[in-house]
Amino acid sequence: SQKIEQNSEALNIQEGKTATLTCNYTNYSPAYLQWYRQDPGRGPVFLLLIRENEKEKRKERLKVTFDTTLKQSLFHITASQPADSATYLCALQVDYKLSFGAGTTVTVRA
């Protein structure tokens, strides 16, 4: 069956450090992998998209890698700030279907 698995544990890090989140998938051949941020009581907000033929994508302090052989994406938040505290969701797109992992909650301590 198809699965999308993210870090099961919440991540607590010190301000200024790098947070690294993992997204693993099985039985998918996604054309795109996306990352979203969700704050409490709100809908997810798109952050980054990486295509299957791309290895790495950067946007400001965010970096995403995509390894289709390992079936894994890593999401990095560098120089983390308390404002980065949120739940981060990975999503796989196959054709028009967008399926999400359960998310990883990140808390950045000042």
Partner 1 sequence: DARVTQTPRDKVTEMGQEVTMRCQPILGHNTVFWYRQTMMQGLELLAYFRNRAPLDDSGMPKDRFSAEMPDATLATLKIQPSEPRDSAVYFCASGLFGTVSKAFFGQGTRLTVV
- Least CB distance from residue 13 to partner 1, whole Å? 22
Copy the structure tokens of residue 104.
């990883």
Could you tell me which residues are beta bridge partners of residue 13?
108
3-class DSSP assignment, residue 84: helix
Nearest to 23 by CA among 47, 41, 59: 47
- Least CB distance from residue 107 to partner 1, whole Å? 17
Q: How far is Cα of residue 69 from the mean position of the Cα atoms in its chain?
A: 18
Stretch that binds partner 1, among 10-18, 53-61, 62-70, 86-94 (CB under 8 A): 86-94
Q: Which of 72, 93, 105, 107 binds partner 1 (CB under 8 A)?
A: 93
- The rounded distance, in Å, linking the Cα atoms of 76 and 61 is 8
Site membership for partner 1, residue 97 (CB under 8 A)? yes
Copy the structure tokens of residue 71.
């079936």
Stretch that binds partner 1, among 7-15, 43-51, 59-67, 71-79 (CB under 8 A): 43-51
Query: Closer to partner 1 at the Cβ: 18 or 26?
Result: 26
Copy the structure tokens of residue 20.
């690294």
Interface contacts to partner 1, rule CB under 8 A: 32, 34, 36, 42-46, 49, 89, 91, 93, 96-103
